Amino acid sequence: MRSIPHFIDNRPTDGASGRFGPVYEPATGAQPARVALASEAEVDAAVAAAVAAYREWGRSSLARRTALLFRYRALLDAHREELARLITAEHGKVHADALGEVARGLEVVELACGIAEKLKGALSTQVSTGVDVAAIRQPLGVVAGITPFNFPAMVPLWMFPVALACGNAFVLKPSERDPSAALRLAELAAEAGFPPGVLNVVNGDRVAVERLLAHPDVAAVSFVGSTPVARAIQQGAVAHGKRVQALGGAKNHMLVLPDADLDAAADNAINAAYGSAGERCMAVSVVVAVGEETGDALAARIAERAAGLRIGPGDDPASEMGPLITAEHRDRVAGYVTGARAQGAEVVVDGTGYTVPGHEAGFFLGVSLLDRVTPEMDAYRDEIFGPVLCLVRVATYDEALELINSSRWGNGTAVFTRDGGAARRYQLEVEAGMVGVNVPIPVPVGYHSFGGWKESLFGDHHVYGDDGVRFYTRGKVITTRWPDPAAAADGINLGFPSHS
């Protein structure tokens, strides 16, 4: 069985803890590899490598960082197919979806290539006689990223390219369920010429996470994952005096008004709910239909489209949806469908018990549509993170807005309508960090920032974009005076400085 190592100081490093975790092939259920789970000592070694690298890297020129990032971008572009294959093998998502993930990660690398523009400071001259004030941003030092299984390449690329561009050294702890893509990203960074220790990867579980949170040389932690873990990450980081951005879970609502193009709304609901087997924090998991006629029409259209979806292994070009990440997660998701029926929902499409011929041991689940869901049901209250779509019916826009805004999450949302005034009102009134108007998954492009509200984000900064630059740097204000050599000395003055 293949063993997946760490990557420290620009070289693979075998695990020394004696602990390993299984890495499955979700389409077959086989376990082709195991991944080393780091001990505290191995985390310390990665951080020590980053500390040593930062001494030079933090003082490196913007020109050097930019040149390396351009080389890295070219290598990533050349290895898109390879990275997508790694993602499909260990995560299970279809190849086209994996390619899209790499492309969205590349957007942030391209943002980082323009870091010189993002790090321009500000200068005010002659704020007082002979006095100038400059504001600059400087790197934090060693920073860490803890990333989830559902986007094993994209989410790391949301973090470390910006951090490195700003002059930090980085320690990445990817998900132990599908670690190979992250390791390949680090290998390509070394090939691009990033110095040893600037980017390190330690695989692991809770032991590695807790050590990164407590390590005195780690200045900041970025995290993407579930809400309970995001809350714990924030609390642990703050307790140790670290800066933190922790992106949590979601229950994303798609509001459909009676005037919407219902065929387009149904198409988009299918794409947003079932793409990547629903294992997306930006997946639409609830459709809110205004009016019974709207609800009936959507239920029929979504069910019709769901029946035609092709589910199979991710490396089959005919597959539109692949398996879930593990058998345990598949069974948990299926439990929400059976539980919803017991709680009074109408199961319009039941995806439980689904198997793919020739892949009976794979972690497959069919798509499910639950109609007449109410806010008291577990399928509505919890983040399912699978191919289960809830349909909730309300009578009015105001009722819909109250329902959506009462959610404890506020990650993303969408509204489908032909009415520009209604769309504008919704985008201003809804309590969510990312809003789509006739766009079901409003993930911002790389030069904006990604993040939600309420229990979908813990910390003050969103990820990548301008917020990413602010997160990975800190401000410094420098006040200078160079007296005119011909001027008389000021003499002693114990008064408070003023601008006169």
Active site residues: 281
Which distant-in-sequence residues (6+ apart) come within 8 Å of 108 by Cβ?
157, 158, 161, 162, 446, 464, 468
- The structure tokens 């029946």 sit at 307
Please check whether residue 15 is in contact with residue 36, taking contact to mean a CB–CB distance below 8 angstroms: yes
Torsion of CA 336, 342, 345, 346, to 10 degrees: 100
Which distant-in-sequence residues (6+ apart) come within 8 Å of 287 by Cβ?
253, 254, 256, 265, 269, 273, 298, 302, 389, 390, 391, 392
Residues making up the chain, counted from first to last: 500
Sheet of 131-139: strand order equals: 122-128, 131-139, 473-481
CA 215-218-222 angle, 5° bins: 115
What is the CB-side half-sphere exposure of residue 400 using CA atoms within 13 A? 29
